[in-house]
Amino acid sequence: MNPVFELRNGVLIPQIGFGTWQIRNPHDIKESLRIALDTGYRHIDTAQIYGNEALIGEALQELNVPREELFITSKVWNTSQGYDQTMLAFEETLRKLQTNYLDLYLIHWPAVNLHQDYKTMNRETYRAMESLYNQGKTRAIGVSNFYVHHLEALLPHVEITPMVNQIEFHPGNPMPDVVSFCQARGILVEAYSPMMKGKVFQLPLLQEIAQKYHRTIPQIVLRWILDQGVLPLSKSITKERIVQNFDVFDFTLSKEDQEVIATLQSMGRVGTHPDVANY
């Protein structure tokens, strides 16, 4: 059983997503998805820029899981922003994934340095997503890599408040301002790069806490994220890791241990800040 969060529109979203960034080998896609689905994952996260939507679509057809059991997310890439371009990109995503609807569609980045007036571009892109939502082509819409000032520029101009904001979130970068801003408005925060691109394995503090709970470091990190009311996206092509990362629903961390893990926040981001990204 995959516990769920409830989005602000009542749609249920599985609490752990299976991330597919950088998985482009057809064998790896099919095998990792097979293992993930056998384990219990039902939430699959991809994006236009990942270059694997078609492979995921083919794999899901072969694996023959009923579409209504799946929660599929994709994201519109920066160069496809704007109303008309977003509508075209969405249809291409549906074709590649071999489905007639998405469960969640996101603006991938605010693309601050790509568009001369990124705020207007974000608004037009999101207006297209509202149209798709109203047409029933996606069950939820939202954004990714949006910080408070990006959201403040967008929210006064929307008819439908985003259901989700997907950001880099982990013990080294807990983003309390973004999380509190979103949670106060009923926007679910999703966490990508939860393992800090492997840096979590180098931290003695996490090793100690993992030993205390008789768990792996990734399990501790994923549980910590869930305990913050945030949805983690777990990515691996290794069977043992895929299975272990899903086995986090039968324990919680003490408040004391949650606070100790939060002291790692001084480590900061492992990825690009949205305001300096040049793509």
What are the structure tokens assigned to 169, written together? Answer: 């979130």
Q: How far apart are CA 169 and CA 167, in angstroms?
A: 6
Strands 17-19 and 43-45: parallel
Q: Is the dihedral of CA 63, 67, 69, 73 positive or negative?
A: positive
Set 50, 118, 126, 133: catalytic member: 50
- 50 as an active site residue: the answer is yes
Could you report how far apart the first and last alpha carbons of the chain are, in Å? 38
Q: b/e for 65-98, b at 16 or more Cβ within 10 A?
A: beeeebbbbbbbbbebbbbebbbebbeebbebbe
Residue spans of beta strands (DSSP E) within 109-204: 141-144, 164-168, 188-192
Q: Which amino acid is it at 23? A: I
Name the residues annotated as catalytic.
50
